Structure 1
Amino acid sequence: MQYIRNVETQICYYGRVQRFFMETFEQIFLQIIHDACTNKTSSIDIAPQDMDALLALAKDQSCVPYVLPYLNDKNRLEPLKYQTKLMMLNYYQIDQFTRRIAALFEANQIPYVLLKGISLAAFYPVSEYRKLGDVDLYINEKEQFERAGKLLLANGFKKDDDVSDHHQGYLYTFPKTGRTLILELHFRIVGLYQYAPANQIVDAVFGFNAFQPEHQIINGTTYPVLPPTQYTFYMLHHMLKHYLYSGFGIRLLCDFTFYLEHFYSQIDFDQIHSWCHDSKILHLYEIILETCRIYLGLSETVDPTVHYDRRDCESFIQQLLAGGDVNKATAAALVGSTSYSRITPFTYLKEGHLQMHVRFPKLGKCPLLWPALWIITFVCFLHNTYTLRNTTLKETLRSFKQDNQRSKLLRIFDNTDN
């Protein structure tokens, strides 16, 4: 087995080096994922003492189907088969939900772009094995976005109350089953950063008339999607946002690997380098690409000039394994918009100001209202901390400092040495 070895990684918190040893079950899990991404099957012996931890990790990373071929214990196998069937059923429900929305928009001549979801699942060896949560569509023209919202409300959708700086959520409940599915209608491709040049590049790349959508046929239905170069850049920002705000697991690396293997000859990597360098996320791209090569078997022919320190990649993959799948943030999490070299009281004020703009995107444009909006934002933050997160302000701020140290591994918005 390629990865069954003693692996030690180091991460520095507050000047102290902490050592993390990759457990045997983690190494086995990575070998299984490597096999899935390269369409190979290794001979893997799983010791009884590693089995429970391996299965727990697979569940946490939404990768249960890939473990099934390596199990012989019927008592463990049957529940996992059932979970896999539910995952496959969910895939087809999301597929039908996507078709319903697409047909509604097309009948009313509303242009849109399908993001991730079934679009990325199509490049997996078994599409149904990619976990799906909701449907994401992008409309980068304000008038059409407003038309789409009215159309959805007129057809049984309800607005989601969650506040976002880049999308509006809509809920649809199916009368027969009672199940509610979510559509995230994006007016920006990703949320705002505090680093203004990154926002400017994102707007330039994905703004109105900035690109010509391509078309992808999925289960017999044709959808407009991003061109390969823009899609690759979007996935990087999607991973970055999740990394900063809630963390992400190995699934997004699988997305990236399968997509690049399929489209690498059509991707303008020089353009990717330029966009990443100018928005100061080049280190993010480098560590993700190299990590996909080492642990997921991404071909060396994909952008072969880009490499990253192997020890940092080990630390990075360790973080992803520990963090769980997308949207499984810790209860005490206070999101940061970037990584900071040092946390000071001004840092918290800066983050609070950004969250004020997220909560009040229109009112926040008026500086005279800022003092009142700051107070409201802080009160909402305290309410969420003690009621929704069920934690304390002290614990939340402590976790924020630790998460900031963790995110510094990627040197986000930093192009030193480049």
Structure 2
Amino acid sequence: MRTTIDNLFMLCRAHLYGTDRPDGGNYEDEIDFETLKKMIQENSLSAFLYKPLKEYNDQKKTIQDEVMSDYGSYIQAVMFRELSKNYGIKKLCTEAESRGIRLVFFKGIILADLYPQYAERTSADSDILVSEEQKEAAEQLLIESGYEKNLEHSKIHVQVYYNKKLSHTVELHTRLWEDYTGPRIDILDKMKLSCPETDIRITACGIEVNTLGHEKHLVYQLFHIIKHFSLEGIGIRYLIDTTLFVNRYFKDIDFNLFWKHIEMLGYTKFVEAFFKICIDELKMNDKVFENHTITLDHSVEDLKTDLLNVGISKEKRAGWQIMGAMESYFTGEAKAPKAGIRRKLAMVFPSLDALPKTYLYARKHPILLPIAWVHRAIKYLIRRKDHKDEFFSVGEKIDVGDRRISLMDELGLLNND
């Protein structure tokens, strides 16, 4: 008997490869649609899995016709929004070329192009890299193209713009790693993942664009995946993205160099576990491990479970509440305390290295650290008063943070050398 998790991966394989269904294409077991639907929504796979689910229901007739009809109408609307975003990107690219502005695309349409239909990979925004020298010109282009700046969500190195007419958000980066700093970010900076000499030009979703070289894009993807995994958790769509990218560009990726870069970043054990799930569940090319000595010495089930549950994001829908506490561990600035009471206390009374950067005054003047602890507690109490149902209690926050750190430790992502 297949579990809901098994059925989810089976539907993914069915859509990607058109095979891997029992009895030569017939679905043997009935799918628990309500449970599966929730898992699909949490993993942002609604558009991607509509076709195999409809195929399943055409055979089994276990999902009510009106339910499938409503699902289909919803997917049509979702995919139309993706087509609208694509139109916006095409216009931006054309105008940027005419103005001599060099835009470099990453994630987004580069990954969407790998899917059976690009609109099946829904996304919240489009990520574009531009040089500091051309940042002002790129922002002016966005404004003249109907985009308005979102000051609240913009950062030093990421300017956020939104086009209401196209329902399209653009994140204009001057650094691939946003505003993050720390030892791991310094290593990434030295790798020069994007520069005119190594960037390439490809056609993605019908648009000719500049993007990172394939090996460098894969390194970036793993950085991005590990960022979200460390700070809040990720879903299985990242498995699909990575599997499709590796299978499409395998011959163009120097995996000896890739593993060297991954080791420099301290990501080896995580990437081994992540790749193993991609291979076992989604048929990623297993030659990624050729000439690489595997260091993983435990089961990948904890990671798989975390991926399927989208980390902590569905716990009160407030995974962002521990992002500040996790950031210093992700960037390699702070060492996590060993398991036990010290680790739990560190969530409430972080060290200077682990203190969120919003308390910069304490980082500059260590004597003010106790004041930062009190400041942090007051901010928490005020926010929780207004959003009590959405906020973790102190105990919940400690437990959630401890579980996240434990899993990061298991996967070799903590700077504990």
TM over 0.5: yes
Letter in 1 for 2:219: F
In structure 1, the partner of 2:34 is 52
Determine whether 1:182 maps to 2:169.
Answer: yes
2:401 aligns with 400
CA distance in 2, matches of 1:371, 1:260: 48
Residue by residue, what CA displacement relative to the aligned partner does 1:87-140 show, whole Å, maximum 9, x if unpaired?
Answer: 32122012112223323433332222111112111111222211222111112x
Secondary structure at 2:300 match in 1: helix
Q: Distance in 1 between matches of 2:232 and 2:351?
A: 15
Is 2:351 aligned against 1:367? no
Q: Residues 290 and 266 of structure 1: is their aligned pair in 2 closer, same or farther, counting only changes over 3 Å? A: same
Percent of aligned positions that are identical: 18
Aligned to 1:30: 9
Match of 1:234 in 2: 220
Which residue in the other structure is 2:333 paired with? none
71-80 vs 232-241, which deviates more? Answer: 71-80
Paired residue total? 385
Find 2:317's aligned residue among 321, 327, 330: 330
Distance 1:77 1:163, change over 3 A: same
Aligned-residue offset at 1:262: 0.7
Question: For residue 16 of structure 1, what is the aligned residue in structure 2?
Answer: none
**Which blocks of at least 5 consecutive residues in structure 2 are unaligned?**
331-335
Q: What aligned pairs does 1:301-380 form with structure 2 within 5 A after superposition? A: 301-306=287-292, 307=294, 312-323=299-310, 330-331=317-318, 333-335=321-323, 336-337=326-327, 338=329, 340=336, 341-342=338-339, 343=343, 345-346=345-346, 350=350, 356-357=356-357, 359=358, 367=364, 371=368, 374=372, 380=379
Measured at CA, do residues 56 and 327 of structure 1 come closer, stay the same or move farther in structure 2, by a change above 3 Å?
closer
Q: Residues of 1 paired with 2:207 and 2:39: CA distance? A: 35
**What is residue 127 of structure 1 aligned with on the other side?**
118
For 1:170, which of 134, 157, 161 is the aligned residue? 161
Q: Alignment partner for residue 278 of structure 1, among 246, 264, 287?
A: 264
Q: Distance in 1 between matches of 2:240 and 2:383?
A: 33
TM-superposed deviation, 1:325: 11
Q: Distance between the aligned counterparts of 1:327 and 1:142, measured in 2?
A: 37
* Aligned partner of residue 284 in structure 2, secondary structure: coil
Query: How do 1:62-77 and structure 2 match up within 5 A?
Result: 62-64=44-46, 65=50, 66-72=52-58, 73=61, 74-77=65-68
Cα distance in structure 2, aligned partners of 1:414 and 1:376? 27
Preserved contact between residue 189 and residue 206 of structure 1 (Cα < 8 Å): no
Q: Counterpart amino acid of 2:185? A: N
Q: Deviations over 1:20-73 (max 9, x none)?
A: xxxx1111112222333334251323326x232122222222223242221233
Given that 1:94 and 1:132 are in contact with CA atoms closer than 8 Å, whether structure 2 keeps it comes out as: no
* Aligned counterparts of 2:237 and 2:135: Cα–Cα separation in 1: 30
C-alpha separation in 1, matches of 2:120 and 2:139: 31
Match of 2:75 in 1: 84
1:84-233 alignment runs, 5 A limit: 84-139=75-130, 141-153=131-143, 155-156=145-146, 157-162=148-153, 164=155, 166-174=157-165, 180-191=167-178, 196-206=182-192, 209=195, 211-233=197-219
* Aligned CA distance change for structure 1 residues 251 and 83 (closer, same or farther; 3 Å): same
Structure 1 residue 328: Cα displacement: 8.7
Structure 1 residue ranges without an equivalent (≥5): 6-23
Deviation by residue 1:172-192 (Cα, 9 ceiling, x = unmatched): 221xxxx64311112221246
Report if aligned partners of 2:125, 2:170 keep a CA contact under 8 Å in 1: yes
* Matched residue type, 1:149: E
Quick one: distance in 1 between partners of 2:277 and 2:129? 29
Q: Does 1:269 align with 2:255?
A: yes
1:166 CA drift (Å)? 4.9
Shift in Å, 1:312: 2.5
> Structure 1 pair 262/227, CA: closer, same or farther in 2 (3 Å)?
same
Normalised by the length of structure 2, the TM-score is 0.80
Structure 1 residue 158, shift from structure 2 partner: 1.8
In structure 2, relative to structure 1, the CA distance for the partners of 1:186 and 1:109 (3 Å cut) is same
- 1:40 is aligned to 2:26: no
Instruction: Name the TM-score, length of structure 1 as normaliser.
Output: 0.79
Q: Distance in 1 between matches of 2:144 and 2:314?
A: 30
Report the residue type matching 1:396 in the other structure. Answer: K
- Rounded to whole Å, the distance in 2 between the matches of 1:387 and 1:143 is 43
Answer yes or no: is the 8 Å Cα contact 1:201–1:275 preserved in 2: no
Superposed displacement of residue 265, structure 1:
0.8
